Amino acid sequence: MDQKVRLSKRMSELGLCSRREADELIAKGLVRVNGEIVDQLGSKVLPSDQIELNKQAKSKLAKKASLILNKPVGYTSHSTAKDHPTVLDLIQKSNQDDLDNAFSFKIKEGLAPVGRLDIESQGLILLSQDGRVAKAVIGEQVEMEKEYLVRFEGQLNGEKLKRLSSGQMQIEGRRLKRCKVEQINPEQLRIVLVEGMKRQIRKMMENVDLRVTGLKRVRIGPVRLGPLPEGKWRYLTGEEVEALLKNKPARPPRSQVRRR
């Protein structure tokens, strides 16, 4: 027999929004279950129940901002390291790359990094006010590709390449998933992961006696860093957000294409 679950949890599972956003929408009477408005927090539903957001709820979620930032080395993804600036410090009008889109100081309200990029690494990091985006990228059971360019020191051979990509490597007692590893030149690799263990690439490289000297993330799922200058940010386009939610390819913005 199907067991009932909290409506907010079910909405999150369906990718409609985050649990926090679900509670806000439910309390405002913007959610229907089997055609009936449900506005009581803690309400429960069956997995087979039909859940709908009304137009106001959809409009409210669509207005939530999502950004892409080219993070420089020296910035932390989160505010746990008080001695260093964070990526949120870079979200200023002076660093905005797509000046055709209006800047609002309210953009930083509820804005949070989607995933991590350690202080020594650079490149693409997403920030969003939208719980759907966070869930699509870093939610449980999600296997969205993250692509990195990795510079290294040490002797690389075919056996080490095989170990890096095979899915047989263990780090801190955890077996890693298979990944894609391609040698670009004698000092650089392209690595594509589908998981996000803390400092995973650095630990993988140490495991085969290689030392990372530079690490840059250039893609998360369908979103590519492209020619976005270091330290700059821009809004994700509506198409890019939808592509993230569906994990499907997206065309880069025209402004990014012109620079190629």
Q: 167-199, pLDDT tens digit by residue?
A: 889 988 889 999 999 999 999 999 999 998 889
Examine residue 113 and state whether it is found in any structural domain, yes or no: yes
Question: What is the pLDDT averaged over residues 111-123?
Answer: 94
- Annotated catalytic, 100? no
**Which of the following is catalytic: 2, 23, 49, 118?**
118
What value does the mean pLDDT take over residues 66-79? 92
Please count the residues of the chain.
Answer: 260
Please state the domain count of the chain: 3
What DSSP assignment string belongs to 163-222?
HHHSS--EETTEEPPP-EEEEEETTEEEEEESS--TTHHHHHHHHTT-EEEEEEEEEETT
Residue 98 falls inside a structural domain: yes
* Domain, as residue range, for 42: 5-62
216 and 151 inside one domain: yes
Q: Which of 62, 78, 104 is the last residue of a domain?
A: 62
pLDDT of residue 90: 95
What is the average per-residue pLDDT within 143-148?
94
Q: Does residue 255 sit within a domain?
A: no
CATH number, position 35: 3.10.290.10
Strands, DSSP E only, in the chain? 5-6, 31-33, 36-37, 44-45, 51-53, 66-71, 112-114, 122-128, 146-153, 170-171, 174-175, 180-185, 188-193, 211-220, 223-224, 233-235
- Residue 52: how many CA atoms within 13 Å on its side-chain side? 9
User: If you average pLDDT over residues 71-89, what whole number do you get?
Assistant: 86
Same domain, 53 and 151: no
- Hey, is 257 helix, strand or coil? helix
pLDDT, the chain, mean = 88
pLDDT, position 102: 78
